[in-house]
Chains A and B, each alone.
Chain A
Amino acid sequence: MDFLAEVAAWFTDSASWSGRDAISARVGEHLALSGVSLLAGLAIALPLGLFIGHTRRWAGAVVAITNVGRAVPSVGILGLALPITLQLGWGIGVPPTLLALTVLAIPPIVLNAYVGIRDVEPELVEAARGMGMREAQVLRRLELPIALPVILAGVRTASIQVIATATLGAILSTGGLGRYIVDGFARQDYPRMFGGALLVMTLALTSEVLFALAQRAAVSPGLRGAPDRLSETRAGLAV
Chain B
Amino acid sequence: MTDGAPFFRLDWVVDNLDMLAQRTGEHVVLTLIGVGFGILIAFPVTLLIHRRRRLIGPVLGVAGILYAIPSLALFGLLIPVTGIGLVTAEIALVSYTLLILIRNGLAGLDGVAPEIVEAATGMGHTRIQRLWRVQLPLAVPVIIAGLRIATVTTIGLVAVTALIGQGGLGFVIITIGINRFFPTAILVGVGLSILLAVLADRGLVLAERALTPWARAGSGEG
Interface residues of B, count at CB 8 A: 53
Partner of A197, one of B74, B170, B173, B186: B74
In the complex, the answer to whether A71 meets B149 with C-beta atoms within 8 Å is no
On chain B, the residues within 8 Å of A86 by CB distance are 1, 181
Indicate whether B42 reaches chain A with its CB closer than 8 angstroms: no
Indicate whether A239 reaches chain B with its CB closer than 8 angstroms: yes
Stretch of A72-80, A110-118, A122-130 contacting B (4+ beta carbons < 8 Å)? A72-80
Indicate whether A33 reaches chain B with its CB closer than 8 angstroms: no
On chain B, the residues within 8 Å of A163 by CB distance are 70
Q: With A72-B193, A185-B79, A238-B96 as given contacts, are A171 and B153 in contact (CB-CB < 8 Å)?
A: no
In the complex, the answer to whether A73 meets B72 with C-beta atoms within 8 Å is no
Q: With A193-B79, A238-B157 as given contacts, are A72 and B70 in contact (CB-CB < 8 Å)?
A: no
A83, A170, A231 interface centre (most CB from chain B within 10 Å): A83
Indicate whether A22 reaches chain B with its CB closer than 8 angstroms: no
Q: Which of B144-199 contact A (CB under 8 A)?
A: 149-150, 152-153, 155-160, 162-164, 169-170, 173-174, 177-179, 181, 183, 186-187, 189-190, 193-194, 197-198
Q: With A75-B160, A171-B178 as given contacts, are A238 and B190 in contact (CB-CB < 8 Å)?
A: no
Indicate whether B73 reaches chain A with its CB closer than 8 angstroms: yes
In the complex, the answer to whether B187 meets A238 with C-beta atoms within 8 Å is no
Q: With A171-B163, A238-B67 as given contacts, are A79 and B79 in contact (CB-CB < 8 Å)?
A: no
In the complex, the answer to whether B159 meets A236 with C-beta atoms within 8 Å is no
In the complex, the answer to whether A196 meets B156 with C-beta atoms within 8 Å is no
Q: How far is the CA of A69 from the CA of B183 in the complex (A)?
A: 19
Indicate whether B7 reaches chain A with its CB closer than 8 angstroms: yes
In the complex, the answer to whether B170 meets A181 with C-beta atoms within 8 Å is no
Q: With A76-B189, A86-B1, A236-B100 as given contacts, are A171 and B174 in contact (CB-CB < 8 Å)?
A: yes
In the complex, the answer to whether A164 meets B173 with C-beta atoms within 8 Å is no
Number of A-B residue pairs with CB-CB distance less than 8 Å in the complex they form? 162
In the complex, the answer to whether B69 meets A201 with C-beta atoms within 8 Å is yes
Indicate whether B4 reaches chain A with its CB closer than 8 angstroms: no
- For the complex formed, measure the closest distance between the CB of A72 and the CB atoms of chain B, giving whole angstroms: 6
In the complex, the answer to whether A205 meets B99 with C-beta atoms within 8 Å is no
Q: How far is the CA of A163 from the CA of B68 in the complex (A)?
A: 10
In the complex, the answer to whether A231 meets B103 with C-beta atoms within 8 Å is yes
Q: Which of B54-71 contact A (CB under 8 A)?
A: 64-65, 67-71
Binding site for A on B (CB under 8 A): 1, 7, 64-65, 67-77, 79-80, 96, 99-100, 103, 107, 149-150, 152-153, 155-160, 162-164, 169-170, 173-174, 177-179, 181, 183, 186-187, 189-190, 193-194, 197-198, 201
Return 17 A-B CB contacts under 8 Å, by A number.
A70-B152, A70-B156, A71-B201, A73-B169, A73-B193, A76-B159, A79-B190, A83-B183, A163-B70, A164-B70, A185-B163, A194-B80, A198-B73, A201-B77, A236-B99, A236-B153, A238-B157
Given contacts A67-B152, A76-B189, 19 further A-B pairs with CB under 8 A are A71-B152, A73-B193, A76-B156, A76-B159, A79-B174, A79-B186, A80-B190, A86-B181, A168-B160, A171-B163, A193-B80, A194-B76, A197-B77, A204-B68, A204-B69, A208-B68, A236-B100, A236-B150, A239-B70
* Nearest 10 CB-CB pairings of A with B: A197-B76, A71-B197, A164-B70, A73-B159, A76-B190, A200-B73, A83-B183, A79-B186, A238-B96, A197-B73
